[in-house]
């Protein structure tokens, strides 16, 4: 049973989001939630590429819960390039001491449990291109926030953008037109989406871009 959709998360969900480990600022999180609430009206799954520890998953899961659908989150949970040892975003608390590599899956599961949203999420543990190849249905929303190299961003775009249903939303994070502000791979797939003629821009909130798939 779905609830009346809301463009804003409740206080408890917002508090869980703010408490979760991750990098998304609150303003961009609120924009993501509004997009998920709108896309949820299509009754289709809401999917994100790049789970990390579940900060943004909380928002998608609550929007999916309200809409009577489900959030799907895809990640291998070994960390992206900039999260490896010696890099800016490395966090030693999410390294598996037994094998010596990153493993954000346990933290992610705790994040969802604390937020009370486990049952509204399907966690796909694996590589995005492999998951995209076996995903057969349409999606109400695709949120691209995975690896930020050209290879990974391109794979995420090519694998998942075609699965956005007409009227559904493609959301891309860390879009920086100015190279001085950040990496350019997400910006390049954002431009590619617009140039394809398949998407129109809906909103811009800092580095978060929301695009809608046009009717065929």
Q: Is the pTM of this model over 0.95?
A: no
Instruction: Please tell me the distance from the alpha carbon of residue 181 to that of residue 78, in angstroms, as a whole number.
Output: 25
- Of residues 83 and 41, more confidence is placed in 41
**Which CATH code for domain 11-213?**
3.40.50.150
Per-residue pLDDT tens for 20-68?
Answer: 998 899 999 999 999 999 999 999 999 999 999 999 999 999 999 999 9
With 90 as the cut, is the pLDDT of residue 126 above it?
Answer: yes
pLDDT averaged over the chain? 91
With 70 as the cut, is the pLDDT of residue 189 above it?
Answer: yes
Strands 139-144 and 164-172: parallel
Q: Of residues 76, 77, 120, 148, which has the active-site annotation?
A: 148
What is the reported pLDDT for 89? 55
With 60 as the cut, is the pLDDT of residue 214 above it?
Answer: yes
Instruction: Please tell me the distance from the alpha carbon of residue 142 to that of residue 48, in angstroms, as a whole number.
Output: 6
> Does the annotation count 148 as an active-site position?
yes
For residue 163, give the DSSP letter: G
> How far is the CA of 196 from the CAs of 192, 199, 213, in angstroms?
6, 7, 10
What is the reported pLDDT for 100? 66
Strands 208-213 and 164-172: antiparallel
Band (203; pLDDT cuts 50, 70, 90): very high
Phi, psi of 58 (to 5 degrees): -55, -45
Dihedral angle computed from the Cα positions of residues 176, 179, 83 and 170, in that order, rounded to the nearest 10 degrees? 20
What is the reported pLDDT for 162? 98
What is the reported pLDDT for 98? 72
Band (82; pLDDT cuts 50, 70, 90): low
Band (134; pLDDT cuts 50, 70, 90): very high
Decide: 17 and 29 in contact? Cβ < 8 Å.
yes
Structure tokens at 84: 């490896």
With 60 as the cut, is the pLDDT of residue 3 above it?
Answer: no
Band (97; pLDDT cuts 50, 70, 90): confident
């Amino acid at each position: 049973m779905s609830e009346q959709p809301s463009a804003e998360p409740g206080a408890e969900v917002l508090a869980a989001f703010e408490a979760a480990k991750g990098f998304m600022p609150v303003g961009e999180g609120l924009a993501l939630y509004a997009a998920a609430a709108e896309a949820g009206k299509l009754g289709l799954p809401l999917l994100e590429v790049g789970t990390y520890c579940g900060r943004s998953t909380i928002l998608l899961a609550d929007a999916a819960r309200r809409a009577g659908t489900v959030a799907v989150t895809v990640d291998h949970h070994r960390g992206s390039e900039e999260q490896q040892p010696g890099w800016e975003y490395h966090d030693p608390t999410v390294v598996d001491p037994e094998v010596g590599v990153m493993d954000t899956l346990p933290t992610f599961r705790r994040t969802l449990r604390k937020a009370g949203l486990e049952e509204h999420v399907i966690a796909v543990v694996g590589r995005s291109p492999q998951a995209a190849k076996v995903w057969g249905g349409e999606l109400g929303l695709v949120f691209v926030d995975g690896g930020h190299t050209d290879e990974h961003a391109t794979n995420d775009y090519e694998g998942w953008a075609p699965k956005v249903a007409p009227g559904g939303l493609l959301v891309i994070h860390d879009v920086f037109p100015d190279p001085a502000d950040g990496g350019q791979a997400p910006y390049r797939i954002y431009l590619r989406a617009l140039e394809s003629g398949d998407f129109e821009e809906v909103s811009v909130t800092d580095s978060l871009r929301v695009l809608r798939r046009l009717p065929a």
